Amino acid sequence: MQVIRNGLVLIEDELKPCDILFDENEIIDIQEHIEGDYPEIDAKGCAVLPGFVDVHVHLREPGHTEKETIETGTKAAAHGGFTSIFCMPNVIPFPDNTETMKDYLHLIDEKAVVRTYPYACITKQEASKEVVDMKSLSQMGIHWFSDDGVGVSTREVMKQAMEQAKDCDAMIVAHTEDMAYRKPGASVHESEVTAQKGWLGIPSACESAQLIRDLGIVEEVGCKYHACHISASESVEALRQAKQKGLDVTGEVTVHHLLLEDKDVQGPNWKMNPPLRSHADRMALIEGLENGSLDFIANDHAPHTQEEKNKPMDKCPFGIVSLETCFSLLYTQFVVREKRWTLAQLVNYMSKKPAERFGLEKAGQIKKGYQPDFVIVDLNEEYVIDASQFESMGKNTPFNGWQVFGKIKQTIVKAQTVWKANYIKINRIYEKV
């Protein structure tokens, strides 16, 4: 057993001076002072928060280890305070059958430093033609299905997928993108701002039209559905209306869509899918998160090589890395500067709410009996984001050089320190230099 002492612990939405006693399985006790001679973690001057949960991460391995590996991607998660992540299935080979999934799970177990839950594909090879055997995959403990990176192109196939998902109590997690709206070479939001720079735009309907189609099928079938990386005001409104009807639907928003707009785009490190949209869209996303039309924050961490991102806008890949900067960026903007959110609200968006939606029953909060997963943060420490110091192999971020508050000092998963400032890693555990 170990004890965290001297920190301010976020319990029931308040920071309280408490000690936390825990072992590798659970939090055993939380008291103002815990007696006993236990190994100690000193959190003096810091906040102790529940480990963050990210349901949208691209680890790239297997198939694209030149971009990221399971080890480097999960180390990046730990550096950002994330103790549970869900990894997207657009890897090679696609995890679209039980044999491939067994190999994938073994690879994750061997290399991941945080709790890592893989998605299975919705359709074989993410080709939108044949729905995978969800029942067999669900029996392995895989309850989340996504073709992220592409939308399921036909209503017929998506309906078949939703019917299967309902039968095995699984969740459809959808990247909605109707390619009929996207011209070859389009790379940014379709607006006057981007047109003036000579870039070809992607309209909001590219996202919202397929989302509206999907929500109509959800109403018919009655399955669980989650919408990835919402970026447009029309999509926020569609989810609001679906919830009013009582549909079992949720939606996520990324840190970059909460902070940046089309006018901010400077080049390839600002190119992501869906694109950064208008000021009105960004305000709709913030307000949608606050009023419950959207549910929580995810990252869509998407590492690429520098060589790939050095290509022209119409040729370079979509995506940015974000695991290591998410908390500090949002804490600085919405808690410190705007005072729009409390710390507890931000942590709920990043921990409690995604954990609850994705069935992690003992994650996302600091409570007796819950998982011993914590992030220790110096909320007052100001620093400059330096992409060269990322644990991720990807350095493709628009936030390099931003000055922020909220330095992650230590991340603990299953009672083990998996990341600590100024420490080196030995056999998955960090020790002081």
Stated as kind and residue range, the H or E segment containing 76 is helix 70-79
| Lowest pLDDT segment from 30-44, 282-296, 413-427 | 413-427
Q: 150 burial class (0-12, 13-18, 19+ CB within 10 angstroms)?
A: middle
Write down the pLDDT at residue 431.
Answer: 46
Mean pLDDT calculated for residue range 261-273: 97
Give CA–CA dist 294/220, Å, rounded.
22
Each residue of 329-346: pLDDT tens digit?
A: 999 999 999 999 999 999
Write down the pLDDT at residue 422.
Answer: 74
- 138: helix, strand or coil: helix
- 256: helix, strand or coil: helix
Residues contacting residue 426 through CB under 8 Å, at least 6 positions apart = none
Does domain 50-357 correspond to CATH entry 2.40.40.20?
no
Give CA–CA dist 10/297, Å, rounded.
19
pTM: 0.96
Each residue of 19-75: pLDDT tens digit?
A: 999 999 999 999 999 999 999 999 999 999 999 999 999 999 999 999 999 999 999
Write down the pLDDT at residue 246.
Answer: 98
Strand partners, 268: none
Quick check: 97 pLDDT over 70?
yes
* pLDDT-based confidence at residue 355 (cuts at 50, 70, 90): very high
Task: Report, in this order, helix, strand and coil percent for the chain, each rounded to 5.
Answer: 30, 25, 40
Strand partners, 123: 131
* pLDDT-based confidence at residue 432 (cuts at 50, 70, 90): very low
Q: Give domain limits for the chain.
A: 2-48+372-432, 50-357
Task: For residue 19, give both structure tokens.
Answer: 């000690």
Backbone φ/ψ region at 416: left (φ over 0), alpha (ψ -120 to 50), beta:
beta
Quick check: 151 pLDDT over 90?
yes
Mean pLDDT calculated for residue range 394-400: 98
Write down the pLDDT at residue 228.
Answer: 98
CA atoms within 13 A on the CB side of 346: 23
So which residues are the catalytic ones?
A: 300
- The answer to whether residues 262 and 188 touch, using CB atoms and an 8 Å cutoff, is yes
- 15, 32, 110, 189, 314 from 54: Cα distances, Å: 23, 30, 20, 25, 29
- 205, 321, 329, 342 from 264: Cα distances, Å: 21, 17, 16, 26
* pLDDT-based confidence at residue 210 (cuts at 50, 70, 90): very high
- 113, 129, 175, 222, 240 from 246: Cα distances, Å: 38, 30, 22, 10, 10
- The answer to whether residues 340 and 334 touch, using CB atoms and an 8 Å cutoff, is yes
Can you list the positions of beta strands (E) in 257-331?
A: 296-298
Considering the domain 2-48+372-432 in this protein, what is its CATH number? 2.30.40.10
Write down the pLDDT at residue 358.
Answer: 98
How is 387-406 classified by DSSP, letter by letter?
GGG-SSS----TTTT-EEEE
Give CA–CA dist 300/276, Å, rounded.
13
How is 162-214 classified by DSSP, letter by letter?
HHHHHHTT-EEEE----GGG--TT--EE-SHHHHTTTPPEE-THHHHHHHHHH
Quick check: 428 pLDDT over 60?
no
